[in-house]
């Protein structure tokens, strides 16, 4: 254990040192299209080898404007005596530059060479140089964002609008569309106002919170201004996700492995993934066992049944307590819920009223299957007997009819 800790500490130190060994300058390039005299902009960045290490790095580009960036350098090979190496690039803007901010990233990535059959502790460094392109705004251009605020029994829907165009806007308003808990569309609208150049305003309206239950609700905010529209879509989150345990078996067979059933109700209106339950088993207030169920995905407002096995081979008959805590998203926990169950003998289990025990143990399953198989065989045998008898009777009647016909023809 100590050796593992030392190895991880060494790995961490190595990663920190390699990170510090590399740098990039400048970290970004800003291009304002209105200020350009040519369509192509030449650029240069430097990758700094602070600790004078020997390594190779690749150069690539990604992002929404990546197709307009040309790299003149696609690989860097550092020697120990190299302080820094340059990356040359050029940006050729399209005829119509998108209004507002658009970006591309130049990626510097260290490559690692690991000899075959060897295991080494290594790290890979990724550096980014961001290219920011500011496109020209038209005469009328509005940037909108959407936010929500709870206010007692109301929910405040807020559309924040900013006029980045070249002229004032005379009329602007926002209309919100959202489906409530009954899947009925609710439409609310803000008051109309004006918006001067470079001005920022909040257009808001309130809606009853009772229209929504726990869950996520998609809100569309459509802002109209001087004959133009812009739309923002965002999820309104009401309450917090919760999963309830609605069923757990009440009886198990002592000294064997039992199959159990556990029902989970997703009270959120969207699917929740990776749901599992941590179970602590106690008897007479003393913890005697613990286990974790398998993970499942549960659709919104639906119940999922977990079937698994509870090991009671070392457990005597008696009453037991099962404290259960549901977890999901690998970190989200719910409150503990407690169920009581009783371990009994197999004879007692078999004598339970129908429906008292839905699931059973390995010992009980063969007996139940035997009864089912015997019933099927008996039913099949009875059906075959009656079918055989009817077939014979039909054949006898046919033969008798043929004999009578022959006698009539002889006469």
Those residues whose C-beta lies under 8 Å from the C-beta of residue 106, and which sit 6 or more positions away, are 45, 59, 60, 61, 69, 71, 87, 89, 128, 129, 130, 131
**Record: fold of 2-112+124-135:** Immunoglobulin-like (2.60.40)
pLDDT for the residue numbered 174: 98
DSSP assigned state of 361: B
pLDDT for the residue numbered 393: 57
Distance of CA 88 to the CA centre of its chain: 40
pLDDT at 401 over 60: no
* pLDDT confidence tier of residue 304, bands split at 50, 70 and 90: very high
pLDDT for the residue numbered 116: 56
Q: What Å distances lie between residue 307 and 93, 122, 209, 298, 312, CA to CA? A: 60, 43, 38, 14, 16
* pLDDT confidence tier of residue 375, bands split at 50, 70 and 90: low
Percent of the chain at pLDDT > 90 equals: 68
pLDDT for the residue numbered 360: 43
- Mean predicted confidence (pLDDT) in 175-191: 97
- Mean predicted confidence (pLDDT) in 292-319: 96
pLDDT for the residue numbered 18: 40
pLDDT at 386 over 80: no
* pLDDT confidence tier of residue 5, bands split at 50, 70 and 90: very low
Percent of the chain at pLDDT > 70 equals: 77
* pLDDT confidence tier of residue 19, bands split at 50, 70 and 90: very low
- The C-alpha atoms of residue 114 and residue 334 are separated, in whole angstroms, by 45
pLDDT at 395 over 90: no
pLDDT at 332 over 80: no
- The C-alpha atoms of residue 176 and residue 186 are separated, in whole angstroms, by 8
Q: What Å distances lie between residue 323 and 85, 287, 320, 338, CA to CA? A: 62, 10, 10, 4
Domain covering 142-238 assigned CATH 2.60.40.10 in the classification: yes
pLDDT at 404 over 80: no
pLDDT tens, position by position, 222-251: 999 999 999 999 999 999 999 999 999 999
pLDDT for the residue numbered 405: 45
**Record: fold of 243-362:** Immunoglobulin-like (2.60.40)
pLDDT at 339 over 80: yes
pLDDT tens, position by position, 113-148: 655 555 444 446 689 999 999 999 999 999 999 999
Q: Report which secondary-structure segment, H or E, holds 207.
A: strand 200-208
């Amino acid at each position: 254990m100590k050796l593992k800790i030392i190895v991880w500490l060494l790995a961490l130190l190595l990663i920190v040192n390699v990170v510090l060994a590399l740098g990039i300058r400048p970290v970004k390039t800003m291009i304002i299209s209105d200020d350009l005299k040519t369509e192509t902009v030449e650029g240069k960045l430097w990758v700094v080898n602070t600790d004078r290490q020997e390594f190779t790095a690749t150069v690539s580009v990604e992002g929404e404007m990546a197709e307009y960036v040309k790299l003149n350098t696609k690989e860097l090979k550092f020697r120990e005596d190299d302080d820094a190496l340059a990356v040359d690039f050029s940006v050729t803007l399209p005829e119509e530059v998108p209004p507002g901010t658009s970006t591309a990233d130049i990626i510097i990535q260290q490559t690692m060479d690991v000899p075959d059959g060897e295991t080494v502790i290594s790290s890979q460094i990724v550096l980014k140089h961001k290219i920011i392109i500011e496109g020209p705004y038209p005469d009328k251009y509005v940037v909108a964002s959407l936010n929500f605020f709870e206010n007692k029994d109301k929910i405040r829907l807020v559309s924040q609008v900013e006029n980045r165009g070249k002229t004032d806007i005379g009329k602007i308003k926002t209309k919100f569309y959202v489906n409530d808990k009954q899947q009925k569309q609710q439409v609310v609208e803000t008051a109309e106002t004006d918006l001067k150049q470079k001005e920022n305003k909040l257009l808001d309206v309130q809606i009853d919170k009772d229209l929504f239950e726990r869950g996520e609700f998609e809100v569309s905010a459509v802002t109209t201004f001087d004959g133009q529209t812009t739309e923002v879509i965002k999820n309104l989150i009401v309450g917090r996700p919760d999963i309830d345990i609605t069923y757990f078996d009440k009886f198990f067979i002592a000294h064997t492995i039992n199959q159990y059933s556990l029902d989970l109700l997703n009270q959120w209106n969207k699917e929740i993934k990776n749901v599992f339950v941590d179970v602590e088993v106690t008897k007479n207030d003393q913890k005697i066992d613990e286990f974790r169920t398998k993970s499942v995905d549960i659709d919104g407002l639906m119940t999922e049944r977990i079937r698994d096995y509870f090991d009671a081979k070392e457990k005597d008959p008696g009453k037991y307590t099962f404290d259960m805590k549901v977890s999901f998203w690998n970190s989200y926990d719910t409150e503990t819920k407690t169920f009581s169950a009783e371990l009994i003998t197999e004879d007692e289990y078999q004598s339970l009223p129908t429906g008292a025990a839905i699931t059973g143990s390995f010992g009980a399953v063969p007996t139940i299957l035997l009864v089912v198989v015997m019933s099927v065989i008996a039913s099949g045998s009875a059906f075959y007997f009656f079918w055989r008898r009817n077939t014979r009777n039909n054949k006898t009647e046919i033969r008798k009819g043929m004999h009578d016909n022959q006698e009539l023809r002889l006469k």
